[in-house]
Amino acid sequence: MNDVTTGHDTPRAGRLLIGLYPARYRSAQGDDIHATFAEATQGRTRSAVLREYRDLATHALRLRLRISPTDPAGRVLAGAAPTALALAAGCALYFLLPGLVHRIRDPQPNLGLGHAVPAAVLQLARAAPWLLALGIAVTGRWRAARIAAVAAALLSGGIQALSGLHPYSAGQLAGMALVGALVLLAPAGLVDVTQRGRWEMAGLALAVALPATVADRYMAQHLPLPMLGLLPIWLGTLTAPALLGRLADRRRDPLQAVGVGLGTLPWLMPLTAVAAFDPPPRLRPLLEYAGACVAPLGMALAVAGAVQLARRVRASDPSDPA
């Protein structure tokens, strides 16, 4: 057996990533993995080698975490990933346009445009990658969209960390990291990139951003909370019809349908972080707020369950005699 097949020519980083594979799989396929990786990276550019590292790590983690296309977790992630990406892009669009206008038109006192322009550029750098990732996904190129979404999560998370961390912002950082993880680990072959799936992603993102922007601009005085505070509830409300439609469709995988609802989980991470640091007396309003966020999804599950039950009853009823 030569050095390639035994892994001696594999760089140390590659050997560490290969170590992520389950022991049984690594024992049976280790030589082939080393040989394939060496062949794929030999003489390639640095960016191509980095892509091979990424693909190797992703494949290893999918096998270790049992999220392959045939595993239940993989099917759930395939439903959650496009929903999470669409919601992230919708939120980015909501924060982007009004924020840019506000920073340029009303710069902070004593700072002027000299501070407003860099702040606007920073906001653009934080939001634009999510919109780019969604745009790529809407064209049907999910693998490329996955790369863009992970880059967006890293960039927005880095900007969030530079801005300072407290419980709520740490939860936001964790939420963006979770979006990146969902998109990265979802089996690409199961993600719905049909015309219907692509329209659903685009429609969900626009449904997040446009009504929220209008409400924030023209109805702020009539809202019980600032639109920023209502945003997680709005995300759950918008996702509920998509969840109901997937669950009620007999042709859809029910596990992928459930994943659609789990795509809203990243926006509950700030609440989780705040609850972890808040004293017990303040937990009740946080729990009530979290309940309001997930209530639309619970209603969608209940309605879908009733629809399925009615179908079973109808199917089991004997037909009337002629």
Q: Of 24, 50, 65, which residue constitutes the final position of a domain?
A: 65
Shared domain check, 76 and 40: no
Comparison of pLDDT for 277 and 202, the residue scoring more: 202
The number of folded domains in the chain is 2
pLDDT at position 25 is 85
198 vs 190: CA distance, rounded Å: 13
98 vs 93: CA distance, rounded Å: 9
- What band does 250 get if pLDDT is binned at 50, 70 and 90? confident
Shared domain check, 55 and 138: no
Shared domain check, 44 and 96: no
Tell me, yes or no, whether 318 lies in a domain: no
Residues in the chain: 322
Tell me, yes or no, whether 89 lies in a domain: yes
**What's the predicted TM-score (pTM) here?**
0.81
**Nearest to 232, CA basis, from 300, 296, 180, 279:** 296
Tell me, yes or no, whether 321 lies in a domain: no
- What band does 100 get if pLDDT is binned at 50, 70 and 90? low
pLDDT at position 226 is 73
Shared domain check, 39 and 124: no
Shared domain check, 104 and 36: no
Q: Of 65, 90, 116, which residue constitutes the final position of a domain?
A: 65
Using the predicted structure, report yes or no on whether residue 3 has a pLDDT greater than 50: no
In this structure, what are the phi and psi dihedrals at residue 190, rounded to the nearest 5 degrees?
-100, -20
Shared domain check, 52 and 123: no
Name the range with the highest mean pLDDT among 107-116, 279-288, 291-300: 291-300
Tell me, yes or no, whether 188 lies in a domain: yes
Q: Stretch 25-42: mean pLDDT, rounded? A: 83
Segment 153-181, tens digit of pLDDT: 999 888 888 877 788 888 889 999 999 99
**Amino acid occupying residue 316:** S
**Nearest to 248, CA basis, from 314, 313, 303:** 303
**Nearest to 194, CA basis, from 254, 131, 129, 138:** 138
Shared domain check, 252 and 152: yes
pLDDT at position 177 is 93
Name the range with the highest mean pLDDT among 61-65, 211-215, 230-234: 230-234
Shared domain check, 45 and 152: no
**Nearest to 38, CA basis, from 58, 18, 21, 23:** 18
pLDDT at position 145 is 94
Using the predicted structure, report yes or no on whether residue 205 has a pLDDT greater than 90: yes
Shared domain check, 146 and 23: no
Shared domain check, 128 and 8: no
Tell me, yes or no, whether 320 lies in a domain: no
Shared domain check, 14 and 148: no
pLDDT at position 1 is 37
| DSSP structure string for 216-244 | HHHSGGGSSS-HHHHHHHHHHHHHHHHHH
Q: Stretch 197-220: mean pLDDT, rounded? A: 88
Domain span at 60:
3-65
**Nearest to 137, CA basis, from 202, 75, 225:** 202
Q: Are 224 and 234 in contact (CB under 8 A)?
A: no
Shared domain check, 214 and 172: yes
Q: Of 47, 65, 83, which residue constitutes the final position of a domain?
A: 65
